Structure 1
Amino acid sequence: MNLKTKLILAIILMLGISINAQNEKTIKGVVVSVADNFPIPGVNVIVVGTTNGTTTDFDGNYEIKAKSGDVLQFSYVGYTTKTVIVGEQLTIDVSLKEDIAQLDEVVVIGYGDQKQKNVTSALTKIDSEEIQDIAVARVEDALQGRVAGLRIQTVASEAGGDPKITLRGPGSITGSSSPLIVVDGVVLGTDADILSSIDNNDIESISVLKDASSVAIYGSRGANGVIMVTLKQGVEGDTKFTYNTFTGYQFATDNKNFTFSVAEERARLDGLQSAVNSIVDPVNFARVNSRYDQAYAELAAWDYLSTLSGGEMDLQKEILPGGTITSHSFGARGGSELTKYSASVAFLEDEGIALADNFKKYNANLKIDTKSKSGKIKAGVNLRGSYNDQDRLPARFTDALRQYGAIPLYLNQDHLDIFNAYRDAGGELSAAGTLYDNLEVGSYGFSRLFDRVFFQGQDNPRGLLLDPNTGLPVINTQQGLPGQLTLGLTRNVGPLVPYLERSRIKRRFSLNASAYVDFKLAKGLNFKQTISGVFRHTKNNDADFVLGNENIVTFGDEAFRLERRDEVNQYVIESVLRYKRDFGKHNLNTILGFEFTNRDFFRQESEAFGVYSNDFNENIALADEGTTFTQNGSDKLVSYFGRIDYNYNEKYLLQVSARTDGSTRFGSNTRFGFFPALSVGWNVSNEDFLASSDVITFLKLRASYGISGSNQISNNIFDSLYRFEETYAIVSANGQTGVKNTALANSNLGWEKLVEFNPA
């Protein structure tokens, strides 16, 4: 444990904070409404302060793991949030009260906003209070269990690792199924690590658009759903400063399926004795019992080797030592009646739980909004920068955890004496010895080094053959002798070597900038012009040092380097005309817009192997088999869109939207796609016959139909079997150089569309 970790833990102990390590238990229960005692499906149930969460099923039932002292939070749109402290009980039933005030809240939808009670599409809103106090490294971790249908799957166990996000299942057959990320109205894309660049403390709210009627306004990019993040704005009044921080310690519990000690493995074998004795067939019994005796003898060999190393390692504790997670966020918000501002800086470090694992995130955000004295002109700018520095896991856990802790991390002279005795009949080093003749004191140990150097005992087949004079194991000095034991468990690398002699570094810098000006043209009529830009630079450096590949025949003891640089530059021009008026009981909210997006991307990738050298700069001549790959590309998207929201007396609701997208990713014959949507709703609780009901306080029926699309085909037309551009290769013949066609253009390559109908 490093000094930083020790100091943090010491401070925690001085403050009298105790760590509760009680075992988790399964809590079950039913969530019902206070008004009618009916079950409520879709209620979000979470353990406060963690990412552990679930939702109730159609009958209001839920099941979640928690421990005594945890706080369960139950929340659902239109109901008051309730918290319950877990005691010794295993069943917790909850009744929720309706909260009609929530339904008058305004929620963010595509290119606008709407009262929550008048929304006719599938939408979930998460407020900042629900996520800002959770000690996690990424926004996605705070969203787990809070949005029905949103699946956030951990596919990388490293600190800061990108999750796989899907909304209501996959939305594409061959392309990406990740939802679109929109921050303060700026479309950023579908990359998994976009949300990792946002500080949780900067978030005002998150709206998750789920069905086709809500996402069709985003056309070709909405098939997988949309996650809309709204950042905090300035407030009128004196500047208010905020400081948020948390520190925690994370660890992994021992998994008994891995890394048995020799004693534990011997106990497991003892437990199988009755099964072996029950074999009736004598031939089969002899065969199985022989293998059974050999397994005991191999454990005896590992026992002896561990004594030469000073004992066994606990590989789970060595590979998964645990680590701290620390966050600091400082913000300032204030302004006058005309100009408001919000600024923040943040730092987060997550040490992860593994030996070679670390994630650092730096954030800075500035948001300024101003307006004229008449209020007819509004303008604003938003600058947001982030830098992520990540040390990624260089190897899988399974390769190391399936080995024995008796394998020496470093070889000493006793190990070498055993190994060097193994020779062929002519007294020369054996084939195995020749392969490993570069080893010396201090080299990394590995299991295969000790293959066939010990003998199975003759009088005691479950032990080693011992020298009667010294009592020590007899060491094999010649190939071909009977009774040799095979101890090789995996390839020729010790269990900790991949974490000590390999490096996987990922660094990303992101800069997002946007500016807008909004003109009030007439009563209820506004025109808004926005321009935004996104710059992202990502650098990956992978390194396998010489000792990390020591004695792996496949790589020939060579060091390995890979460097990949990715750059994305995007700018968007957006023009939106909005008309919002109430005519008595008739309420109208419409938009008409145009959007142009240009995206340039670049990738350069180089890799090389270096024979017996970690230095590719001073000794570049030692590098061989090097390759360099570059890719440049650009795509453009032109869009026209519109939406009409109408309701009569907030009872009868209608929304119609349409969008046309034209993308350079597709063939000339099918470049444009059309994406319409329609949704209707009925606020039954606003009818006179329910106005005085004590049983039903809010009831809405709705249905939606829509078509959304996906343009998530390969950015690299050379990787696509369905390319729409012709490609060529250089050829030579008879001393002449020319080109030949390698793929024909596909002018009919078109849109992938998703059609949805959602009655609710």
Structure 2
Amino acid sequence: MQRMSNKMKNMRAALLFFLVAVISLSVSAQNVAVTGTVTDKTGETVIGASVVEKGNAGNGTITDIDGNFSLNVPANATLVFSYVGMKSQEIALKGKTKVDIVMEDDAQALEEVVVIGYGTVQKKDLTGSVASVSAKQLESIPVSSASEALQGKMAGVQITTTEGSPDADIKIRVRGGGSLSQDNSPLYIVDGFPVSSISDIAPTDIQSVDVLKDASSTAIYGARGANGVIIITTKSGAEGKTQVNFGASYGFRNVIKQVGVLDPYEFSLYQYELDQSGTSYGAYKDLEIYKSKEGSNWQDQLFG
């Protein structure tokens, strides 16, 4: 009888433990009403932000005009917040019923926008031939003009200098030359306005450079875009704290080695010895006259 009594006590204890576990599971599985507000870094409310229970895409909502939301989810659920142009965030509730979050801009997603003529398009939807260079790619290049900063940055765009001096004119050709008698320069568009040259634009003032290289540019700009179109967007003011940037660089250009050349006397003497007739340079004694003549080193003229 005593053994039976002990067994009954053990069974009752096990049953009680089981009932407590079932009750705790049912309580944890109950849904709770979660509310909160979604804002950005400036404190403005985000309208239409998506709030979804992780693992249950059918249970979700969006924020209202004041950035508020309300959603019934399990007490131990995780909420996923997302909005176009902002980084997605996951918040584990852990019993909380009030959640206020601040969403950050997704700079990488915003940069995937390419300028095409009078509008913009996402890179994944782009079908034409467009080359782009951002401000980050230009800021580390110590050059004096925007044309020099673009050298070697875009396929199908050839940039050459007419001479070796630092202030030499720079020629830009998109897909090579298309005419033997006419100008092959592309059309330059700076902040929506056509200009004749971009040599006077500082590279530090440029936000982005987009080059239209195919026939789609002629559909927008007509015959002026036959040699390609270079669209430059300069930097503008932005919200936030006042920020001052300063950059400086120093450099020099020098020819490493020149080919040795003859002075006027040495050249005349060399030609006198080659002249079999002896009439082209006069008498041998007259060659002394060339010692007083100042010659020209054409390498200096060529390299500046």
Q: With CA pairs under 8 Å and 6+ residues apart, which has the higher RCO, 1 or 2? A: 2
- Give CA-to-partner distance per residue, 1:123-166, whole Å, 9 cap, x none: 11112233333333321122222222222333355553433332
2:245 aligned with 1:242, yes or no? Answer: yes
Distance 1:104 1:293 in 2: 71
Distance 1:266 1:176 in 2: 43
Matches within 5 A, 1:138-537: 138-155=145-162, 159-171=166-178, 175-188=182-195, 191=196, 194-252=197-255, 255-256=258-259, 260-262=262-264, 265=267, 269=270, 288=276, 290=278, 294=282, 299-303=287-291, 305=292, 315=297, 354=304
The structure-2 alpha-carbon separation of the partners of 1:289 and 1:174, relative to structure 1 and needing over 3 Å to count, comes to: closer
Structure 1 equivalent of residue 124 of structure 2: 117
- Give CA-to-partner distance per residue, 1:48-83, whole Å, 9 cap, x none: xxxxxxxxxxxxxxxxxxxxxxxxxxxxxxxxxxxx
Structure 2 equivalent of residue 128 of structure 1: 135
Structure 2 equivalent of residue 702 of structure 1: none
Q: Which amino acid aligns with 2:220?
A: I
Q: How far is the alpha carbon of 1:198 from its aligned partner?
A: 0.9
The structure-2 alpha-carbon separation of the partners of 1:157 and 1:125, relative to structure 1 and needing over 3 Å to count, comes to: same
Q: How far is the alpha carbon of 1:171 from its aligned partner?
A: 3.9
Distance 2:165 2:276 in 1: 42
| Structure whose residues are more often strand by fraction | 1
Distance 1:295 1:134 in 2: 59
Contact 1:121 1:214 in 2 (8 A): no
Highest Rg: 1 or 2? 2
Q: Which amino acid aligns with 2:234?
A: L
Contact 1:207 1:227 in 2 (8 A): yes
Q: Which amino acid aligns with 1:123?
A: V
SS of residue in 2 equivalent to 1:206: strand
Contact 2:268 2:281 in 1 (8 A): no
Distance 2:179 2:281 in 1: 55
| Structure whose residues are more often helix by fraction | 2
Distance 2:170 2:216 in 1: 27
- Give CA-to-partner distance per residue, 1:290-322, whole Å, 9 cap, x none: 25875965643222x26xxxxx677569868xx
Distance 2:217 2:208 in 1: 17
Structure 1 length-normalised TM: 0.23
Structure 2 equivalent of residue 87 of structure 1: none
Distance 1:122 1:297 in 2: 70
Q: Which amino acid aligns with 2:278?
A: S
Contact 1:103 1:115 in 2 (8 A): no
- Give CA-to-partner distance per residue, 1:713-754, whole Å, 9 cap, x none: xxxxxxxxxxxxxxxxxxxxxxxxxxxxxxxxxxxxxxxxxx
Q: How far is the alpha carbon of 1:122 from its aligned partner?
A: 0.7
Contact 1:104 1:117 in 2 (8 A): no
Structure 1 equivalent of residue 29 of structure 2: none
Q: Which amino acid aligns with 1:250?
A: R
Structure 1 equivalent of residue 97 of structure 2: none
SS of residue in 1 equivalent to 2:249: strand
Contact 1:262 1:299 in 2 (8 A): no
Structure 2 equivalent of residue 693 of structure 1: none
The structure-2 alpha-carbon separation of the partners of 1:294 and 1:118, relative to structure 1 and needing over 3 Å to count, comes to: farther
Q: How far is the alpha carbon of 1:181 from its aligned partner?
A: 0.7
- Give CA-to-partner distance per residue, 1:512-541, whole Å, 9 cap, x none: xxxxxxxxxxxxxxxxxxxxxxxxxxxxxx
Q: Which moved more, 1:238-247 or 1:127-136?
A: 127-136
Q: How far is the alpha carbon of 1:241 from its aligned partner?
A: 0.3
Contact 1:154 1:162 in 2 (8 A): yes
Matches within 5 A, 1:528-567: none
Structure 1 equivalent of residue 21 of structure 2: none
Q: Which amino acid aligns with 1:260?
A: L
Q: Which runs of 5+ in 1 are unaligned?
A: 1-100, 277-286, 307-311, 321-352, 355-760
Distance 2:125 2:283 in 1: 70
What is the aligned residue count? Answer: 197
Distance 2:111 2:244 in 1: 30
Q: Which amino acid aligns with 2:139?
A: Q
Distance 2:120 2:266 in 1: 62
SS of residue in 1 equivalent to 2:259: coil
Distance 1:248 1:136 in 2: 9
Contact 1:150 1:168 in 2 (8 A): yes
Contact 1:149 1:168 in 2 (8 A): yes
Contact 1:105 1:116 in 2 (8 A): yes
Contact 1:103 1:116 in 2 (8 A): no
The structure-2 alpha-carbon separation of the partners of 1:295 and 1:223, relative to structure 1 and needing over 3 Å to count, comes to: farther
Contact 1:172 1:224 in 2 (8 A): no
SS of residue in 2 equivalent to 1:120: coil
Q: How far is the alpha carbon of 1:203 from its aligned partner?
A: 0.6
CA RMSD of aligned residues (A): 3.7
Distance 2:216 2:126 in 1: 11
Distance 2:235 2:163 in 1: 30
Q: Which amino acid aligns with 2:276?
A: V
